[in-house]
Chains A and B, each alone.
Chain A
């Protein structure tokens, strides 16, 4: 078995999952210019929804993704319409603060309601794997990775080639002009944020099958989403695929060649480097 090849495959599988983790954040940030520091907390909520669907309704986590997505969409619409719409035109700093505040509130409520114990979603096929080319590929990770890429491509298509997608992009680029065309911005912003959270929810459901769920995973997931969005670039949803793969590979290779405790240093290090050297990201158009 080729160790390097196995580690690279591990990294790629993780990277695919990372893409969907970041997608919701990148969408809302790139299109609405809302930097959502509570993104990870919503992923965590989505994971819990999937967990409960699995426990109570015996819904397979992959099959149950649409349910989680719809529920989170409603939450997102409400949050944007009720809270975030109120500060859209104030300095960016306020968005950062308010979403940070949301993160704190959601995490504490989750801890109160769900308790701090760890949970996992374990469908019957969770230990299965495929062996190919001397490499072992866990089935669940592969499925999550594929699903992630599918969703990202779907979002890319939606934004660029559908009417609603174009309306969303138009509103974000020029509010007054969009209004002249009959767009209701408050509704559209809420729809977009709802989409962002729906994606976060889906990411949560996938994440829960591969890793553990507890109320505190939000902060790390938000941090990774930032890294991925910036590394990949916010100009296109496809950026998260590039960013996710790079992050997944960096973490796997760092763990192999330097040590497992250095993974965070590597991922944040790359984030800062990209910010300093090429802030628009790998797939971004240079300003």
Chain B
């Protein structure tokens, strides 16, 4: 009798699971569902949240302005968002669930290149277009995948405006240290930065890869100090850079200039560091300027105002990028005149329109191209300093010693 019980258990388990699976939700009659797995909690949630907020704001605004018209019929946009807790594996499973169980129409991307790299394998496998504004690494776009599109400028380009700025600084930085985390985005940045430095005639005195989520930069900072680096370029994540700057202060390391791939454009980051954020350089491909016109938000400045009113914090390029993803999908759906994934994918590849984020046009590999503007924290606010050719405002250079601040 007990053995019957014992063997019956696996059967019961299977039957139980059968009951679970049959309830697959279908999208409502005239709704277009966009699915995404975003980092709402976990180490990179600070930036992941921008995308969640961006998708929501964009969907609300587009619905408010009449929704989407496909082949004469009106549709509203709906979102299905999962929290992947900053875990790449969970995000892959969630995208699989979005496609195979929730049966969403199209996909929006996560934040971060390593996520986009893994998750785009799902969109490619099931042939559902994914427009993502969170992954800039060249690796995402060099696999010949047809179903992933990216609205972040290539990672390899991130430091190009900064290095062009070096030539116009006095005294020109001669010894440069390059540090980068070991994830997809930052490795791509470093790979692209090396030839840029070479072309500028600079040989890095330090070129080190460190583990993602590292919290101890003491050895690296000691090396920077001992090699007397003039400029330090760091490609990493917000929490690492926070640690880096704090430890630089406590070890009394102050190069003439330091520039980071993330952090400076974000309000949280500057607030967390307070006065210690001053003088830090960064870059952004987007500024909330009125010259960037948009069909739904008017222009970038108005968008920034709506965002601030809704969410009570300032948007940065991640936010604008997220909104651009939704807009790109909507434009492509309307152009294709159908919800068929393949047709929409072809329409996406042919995208060409102006938005609050800039000119949306994807290269053959699916990635957009935008120029980076060098920014610096001046008096607690990010100031646009150098646009790739000339100075817009004066750069605060060189950075004074910690004791003299």
Contacts and interface: CB of A to CB of B under 8 A. Distances in A.
Direct contact of A and B (CB under 8 A): yes
A136 B252 CA distance: 7
Given A117-B46, A256-B219, A261 B209 contact: yes
A7 B222 contact: yes
A127 B45 contact: no
Contact of A116 (B45, B211, B276): B45
Contact of A256 (B223, B239, B242): B223
Chain B interface size, as a band, is 20 to 34
Contact of A138 (B208, B209, B211, B251): B251
Contacts of B247: 138
Interface in B200-250: 208-211, 214-216, 218-220, 222-223, 225-226, 239, 242-243, 246-247, 249-250
Place the interface of chain A in its size category. 35 or more
Contact of A260 (B46, B210, B251): B210
A269 interface: no
B216 A141 contact: no
16 contacts: A3-B222, A111-B85, A116-B45, A117-B41, A127-B246, A127-B249, A131-B252, A138-B251, A141-B250, A211-B216, A212-B215, A212-B239, A216-B43, A256-B219, A259-B208, A260-B219
A140 B41 CA distance: 29
A111 B211 contact: no
A265 to B, nearest CB: 11
Interface of A: 1-3, 6-7, 10, 14, 111, 115-118, 120, 122, 126-129, 131, 136, 138-141, 211-212, 214, 216, 251-252, 255-256, 259-261, 263-264
B86 interface: yes
Contact of B218 (A10, A116, A264): A10
Given A3-B223, A7-B222, A141-B250, A117 B45 contact: yes
Contacts of A136: 225, 251-252
B249 to A, nearest CB: 4
B397 interface: no
If over half of A's interface residues share one DSSP class (helix, strand or loop), that class is named, otherwise mixed; here it is mixed
A1 B251 CA distance: 12
B391 interface: no
A10 B216 CA distance: 10
B211 A263 contact: yes
A128 B182 CA distance: 30
B252 A10 contact: no
B42 interface: yes
B86 to A, nearest CB: 7
A54 to B, nearest CB: 15
Contacts of B276: 127
B219 A252 contact: yes
A129 B218 contact: no
A115 B42 CA distance: 8
Nearest to A127: B249
Contact of B225 (A1, A14, A128): A1
Contact of A6 (B215, B226, B239, B246): B226
Most buried by B among A2, A120, A122, A260: A260
Nearest to A125: B250
A14 B216 CA distance: 10
Contacts of A263: 211
A261 B220 CA distance: 12
A118 B214 CA distance: 13
Contact of B211 (A3, A126, A141, A260): A260
Nearest to A252: B219
A218 to B, nearest CB: 14
B216 A116 contact: no
Contacts of A212: 215, 239, 242-243
